[in-house]
Structure 1
Amino acid sequence: MVLLLLVDLDPELIALRPLGGFFVLRTSGAPAGSPPPLAETYDRTSLDVYENSMTFRVRKVAESLRAPELRIAASVAQQGLAARLWSVALGCAVRYGRLPDLDPELLCWDPDAGAPDDLWLTEVRPSAKDAADAVLQAHLEPLTALVHTRYRVAEGLLWGNAASALAGAARQLERWALAHGRTEDAVRTRALAAGLFAHPRLAGALDTSLRRRSCCLYYRVPGGGVCGDCCFTRPPRSSPRATSG
């Protein structure tokens, strides 16, 4: 069990700011154009008829990376959003001892922003949910279903992306904590991450050294290469379809 010191959530979530751009969560000053809540992004009912935030984002990423297939850009976009969601949740859990309500109806995402993805919380109120419920169940499950259905990206690959994003967020938070002499925060970070990696959705996605067992397909963009935690040590020459699971 991880014991966390409960601290009141301030309206601006100021404690997240020193952690770096992936951890910052805007709570005031709505982004230009007032992007819709993520609940609308995850809604698949009209996806084949109307463009939504995810289709816009995937196209933007594809153009930026010169990706030869939209499914590659979809994988990259999904992992980028997952990294932001995990970072916010871990940052709040460690710095405040609790999460704000990250309900998809309250959390907005600007698909036209650069990296890291721009998130904006319309109301700061405490939540009794843990990171597994607040991020994995409320966000990553519908996000994974959306990308899998729309772009035919394998679910195993997408959950590998989610696990890789969690490992990156935890690593960055722990590094910050140790650099600032906050040993207890580092211990909390490791314990929280370990608990999340044990979740059935993520269990087995990474090996014991946190190297993933799937590939995000980034090596297929021009000049992409392989990521530091990729299951490959060099870009494979075999069919990319063989790396999608």
Structure 2
Amino acid sequence: MVYLISVDLDPDLNRLASLEGFFALRTGRPSLPTLAEAYAAPCVTIKGDPLTFRVRKVARLLDAPEVRIAVSVTQQGLAARLWSVALGAAALYGRLPDLDPRLLRWDADGSAPDDLWLSEVRALPGDTAMIRRVVHHGHLEPLAAALRARHPVAAGLLWGNAASALAGAARELDRWARANGRPEVGDRGRALAVDLLDHPDLRDTGTLNGTAFRRRSCCLYYRIPGGGVCGDCCFARPPRRV
């Protein structure tokens, strides 16, 4: 059980933005598709299919020899954004902005923090159950389903990515907390991450020790030209290709 403080969310989420990087979340109503539209299958908006656009862009930028590598990197990046926003808000405020996919607009051509825009700030409890409902069930499940409907990629790889992204968010939050004299923020983030990883989809994806995570799967990044293994990879060195 994680006990949190409870502080009202500021309308522009400026305190959350102070964490910078993947934790920041813009507010407003830009002319962008929502994540609910992006998860729809098939998804065709005025700008085409945002998920397909993103995967193709990642594949091009990485010179990925297989589309599943770009799918993996795309999914892990979005998972990291969503976990970071939720974990950061819960640890800072004890409250969570409603991240309903219909409220979150996504620029598939953008990067953090300009990729996600929240059209309306609604406060929710910042506990484990709500974060799991909002991020795990509200985003990661439909995101995985949408990607697997479009591309050949293993479900286990995507859940390994999700767990890695969650552990990474907790680690970065802990680093910020130590650097800014707010150890209680890091403590809350770590405790929430432990609880969130205790879910059947994530429980067997790896091992968390403090803020260090060792996963049991690989995101495939090593397969791009010049790519190596990530810090939490199951491999100590890139596997030899046959």
Aligned twin of 1:233:
236
Aligned twin of 1:126:
123
Task: Name which of structure 1's ranges 85-94 and 112-121 shifts more when overlaid on structure 2.
Answer: 112-121
Aligned twin of 2:144:
144
Aligned twin of 2:26:
26
Alignment partner of 2:28: what SS? coil
**8 A Cα contact 1:22 1:87, kept in partner:** yes
Tell whether 2:178 aligns with 1:178.
Answer: yes
Distance in 2 between residues matched to 1:116 and 1:142, nearest whole Å? 22
TM-score, normalization by structure 2: 0.92
How far apart are 1:235 and its partner, in Å?
Answer: 1.1
Distance in 2 between residues matched to 1:67 and 1:119, nearest whole Å? 25
How far apart are 1:44 and its partner, in Å?
Answer: 1.1
Q: Where in structure 2 are the equivalents of 1:3-22 lying within 5 Å?
A: 3-22=3-22
Q: Where in structure 2 are the equivalents of 1:156-235 lying within 5 Å?
A: 156-209=156-209, 210-235=213-238
Alignment partner of 1:87: what SS? helix
Distance in 2 between residues matched to 1:173 and 1:46, nearest whole Å? 34
Distance 1:85 1:79, change over 3 A: same
Select 1:94's aligned residue among 91, 95, 98.
91
Moved over 4 A (4+): none
Unpaired runs of 5+ residues, structure 2, are none
Distance in 1 between residues matched to 2:65 and 2:84, nearest whole Å? 29
Count, aligned residues = 234
Distance 1:219 1:134, change over 3 A: same
Distance in 1 between residues matched to 2:197 and 2:143, nearest whole Å? 18
TM-score, normalization by structure 1: 0.91
Q: Which amino acid letter does the alignment assign opposite residue 224 of structure 2?
A: V
Aligned twin of 1:72:
69
Alignment partner of 1:99: what SS? strand
How far apart are 1:101 and its partner, in Å?
Answer: 0.9
Relative to total residues, which structure has the larger strand share, 1 or 2? 2
Distance in 1 between residues matched to 2:240 and 2:146, nearest whole Å? 29
How far apart are 1:105 and its partner, in Å?
Answer: 0.2
Unpaired runs of 5+ residues, structure 1, are 240-245
Q: Which amino acid letter does the alignment assign opposite residue 39 of structure 2?
A: Y
Task: Name which of structure 1's ranges 128-137 and 56-65 shifts more when overlaid on structure 2.
Answer: 128-137
Distance in 2 between residues matched to 1:214 and 1:124, nearest whole Å? 36
What's the Cα RMSD here? Answer: 1.7
Distance in 2 between residues matched to 1:126 and 1:29, nearest whole Å? 18
Q: Where in structure 2 are the equivalents of 1:55-66 lying within 5 Å?
A: 55-66=52-63
How far apart are 1:59 and its partner, in Å?
Answer: 0.4
Distance in 2 between residues matched to 1:6 and 1:184, nearest whole Å? 13
How far apart are 1:6 and its partner, in Å?
Answer: 0.8
User: Between the two proteins, what is the percent identity of the paired residues?
Assistant: 63
Distance in 2 between residues matched to 1:183 and 1:227, nearest whole Å? 27
**8 A Cα contact 2:205 2:215, kept in partner:** yes
